[in-house]
């Protein structure tokens, strides 16, 4: 069975198309777990109608807690051998799930399969991504490719089918905003010995004025990045680095750079946010506080912070990761 997890928040305009696309996949053995995240429009009523008319659809209610909490609740309730995720304003092209599920059934060594992505922009343009077909084998190979290029393994959690066993003991981070998919992929990918990149089907990512990706402005992104950095520092400081696998080190490093890049992506790190960040690091280790609050240049502080987090300056520039995040070229 496949469990399809969909957080819903005020999606009355799009949820019907989202759910309808699931019924066109040519499969019967699935469950759809819809988590209503405190919607105040007609989303709840629309989803209830789907559940009444099709017993494979299930509605769960929660107070507004964000997409990560909703996804975690869905994972807790899922009973399928496989799990996939959708956003309530996106769709699947017909026959996206059937061939990919059949492949995983025939190849039990595959832990994760990614299918192509179609980005539907607000101007009507459609951009096709991740259309190559190949099989990646070995944890080091998978994580090396993950860090080098988003053109191979993208940073989105949807558009992929996972073995449910991958989620044993791990969940989406609560408190992380705007990068939660990449955060969890850094923990999921080190558990995968074989990843399949498929050419079958497509995840239709709809960008519109009501979507979360469209709505977040640069100031919000910077604030999310500040918060993400606080969570990341605490997480890594509490980890015994010598026990980290190579793959996990690379995964954490990639996420760290992604968060840091957000901080200075737009005319530098805003002074108000800089003060906010510094005011909230009293509980950080002394060495990290000294780096963040020093009078050194921003570039020097970022380099020093990266080195401190991962225990060695040799990680700066590791695996050609600068090609993934153009901002990092300016750190050289």
Domain that holds residue 237: 217-331
Residue written as tokens 């901080």? 263
Tokens of 61: 């209610």
For the ranges 35-39, 137-141, 166-170, 196-200, which has the lowest average pLDDT? Answer: 137-141
Contacts of 225 (CB under 8 A, 6+ apart): 178, 179, 259, 260, 262, 263
Please state, in angstroms and rounded to a whole number, the distance separating the CA atoms of residues 228 and 175: 8
167 lies in the same domain as 271: no
190 lies in the same domain as 231: no
Q: Are 178 and 216 in contact (CB under 8 A)?
A: yes
Which residues on neighbouring strands pair with residue 3, listed in sequence order?
31, 83
208 lies in the same domain as 271: no
The continuous run of DSSP H or E covering 4 comes out as strand 2-8
Say what the pLDDT of residue 185 is.
Answer: 83
121 lies in the same domain as 249: no
For the ranges 54-58, 115-119, 149-153, 288-292, which has the lowest average pLDDT? Answer: 288-292
Q: Which of 147, 182, 212 is the last residue of a domain?
A: 212
91 lies in the same domain as 16: yes
Which residues on neighbouring strands pair with residue 135, listed in sequence order?
196
Q: Where does the pLDDT of residue 5 fall: very low under 50, low under 70, confident under 90, or very high at 90 and above? A: very high
Residue 279 has pLDDT above 80, yes or no: no
225 lies in the same domain as 204: no
For range 267-292, the mean pLDDT: 52
Q: Where does the pLDDT of residue 145 fall: very low under 50, low under 70, confident under 90, or very high at 90 and above? A: confident
CA–CA distances in Å: residue 183 to residues 161, 178, 248? 17, 10, 11
CATH number of the domain bearing residue 76: 3.90.550.10
CA–CA distances in Å: residue 212 to residues 50, 126, 177, 185? 24, 19, 11, 20
Please state, in angstroms and rounded to a whole number, the distance separating the CA atoms of residues 321 and 332: 12
Strand ordering across the sheet containing 134-137: 57-62, 30-37, 2-8, 82-85, 160-163, 112-114, 194-197, 134-137
Q: Which residue has the higher pLDDT, 247 or 205?
A: 205
Left (φ > 0), alpha (ψ -120 to 50) or beta: where does 36 sit?
A: beta
Overall domain count for the chain:
2
| Phi, psi of 205, deg, nearest 5 | -90, 110
Of the candidates 6, 201, 190, 204, the residue with the CA atom closest to the CA atom of residue 111: 190
For the ranges 69-83, 148-162, 287-301, which has the lowest average pLDDT? Answer: 287-301
Of the candidates 89, 2, 7, 87, the residue with the CA atom closest to the CA atom of residue 44: 7
159 lies in the same domain as 42: yes
Q: Which residue has the higher pLDDT, 61 or 332?
A: 61
Q: Where does the pLDDT of residue 259 fall: very low under 50, low under 70, confident under 90, or very high at 90 and above? A: low
6 lies in the same domain as 148: yes
Residue 230 has pLDDT above 60, yes or no: no
Please state, in angstroms and rounded to a whole number, the distance separating the CA atoms of residues 3 and 213: 25
For range 67-83, the mean pLDDT: 97
For the CA atoms of the chain, what is the radius of gyration? 20
Share of the chain above pLDDT 70, in %: 59
Please state, in angstroms and rounded to a whole number, the distance separating the CA atoms of residues 167 and 83: 9
**158-217: per-residue pLDDT in tens?**
999 999 999 999 898 776 666 678 778 877 888 899 999 999 999 999 886 555 554 455
Residue 73 has pLDDT above 50, yes or no: yes
Say what the pLDDT of residue 221 is.
Answer: 58
Average pLDDT, the chain: 76
Please state, in angstroms and rounded to a whole number, the distance separating the CA atoms of residues 48 and 168: 30
295 lies in the same domain as 315: yes
314 lies in the same domain as 235: yes
206 lies in the same domain as 226: no
Q: How many residues does the chain have?
A: 332
159 lies in the same domain as 222: no
Contacts of 119 (CB under 8 A, 6+ apart): 126, 127, 128, 129, 205, 207
Q: Where does the pLDDT of residue 131 fall: very low under 50, low under 70, confident under 90, or very high at 90 and above? A: confident
Say what the pLDDT of residue 80 is.
Answer: 97
Q: Which of 196, 212, 228 is the last residue of a domain?
A: 212
For the ranges 147-156, 206-215, 252-261, which has the lowest average pLDDT? Answer: 252-261
Q: Which of 212, 242, 268 is the last residue of a domain?
A: 212
């Amino acid at each position: 069975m496949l469990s399809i997890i969909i957080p819903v928040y005020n999606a009355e305009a799009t949820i019907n198309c989202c759910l309808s696309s699931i019924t066109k996949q040519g499969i019967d053995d699935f469950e759809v777990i819809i988590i209503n995240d405190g919607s105040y429009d007609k989303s709840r009523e629309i989803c209830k109608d789907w559940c009444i008319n099709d017993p494979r659809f299930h509605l769960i209610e929660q107070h507004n807690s964000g997409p990560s909490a909703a996804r975690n609740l869905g994972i807790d309730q899922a009973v399928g051998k496989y799990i996939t995720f959708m956003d309530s304003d996106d769709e699947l092209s017909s026959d996206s799930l059937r061939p990919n599920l059949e492949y995983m059934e025939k190849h039990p060594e595959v832990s994760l399969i990614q299918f192509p992505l179609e980005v539907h922009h607000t101007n009507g343009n459609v951009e096709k991504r991740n259309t190559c077909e190949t099989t990646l084998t070995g944890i080091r190979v998978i994580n090396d490719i993950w860090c080098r290029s988003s053109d191979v393994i993208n940073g989105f959690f949807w558009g992929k089918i996972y073995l449910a066993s991958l989620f044993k003991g791990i969940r989406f981070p609560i408190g992380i905003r705007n990068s939660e998919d990449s955060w969890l992929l850094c923990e999921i990918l080190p558990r995968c010995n074989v990843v399949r990149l498929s050419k079958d089907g497509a995840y239709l990512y709809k960008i519109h004025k009501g979507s979360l990706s469209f709505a977040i402005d640069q100031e919000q992104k910077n604030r999310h990045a500040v918060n993400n950095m606080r969570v990341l520092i605490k997480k890594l400081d509490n980890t015994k680095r010598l026990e980290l696998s190579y793959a996990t080190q690379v995964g954490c490093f990639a996420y760290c750079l992604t968060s840091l890049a957000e901080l200075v992506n737009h005319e530098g790190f805003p002074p108000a946010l800089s003060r906010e960040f510094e005011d909230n690091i009293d509980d950080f280790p002394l060495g990290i506080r000294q780096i963040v609050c020093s009078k050194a240049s921003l570039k020097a502080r970022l380099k020093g912070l990266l080195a401190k987090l991962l225990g060695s300056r040799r990680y700066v520039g590791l695996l050609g990761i600068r090609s993934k995040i153009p901002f990092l070229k300016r750190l050289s």
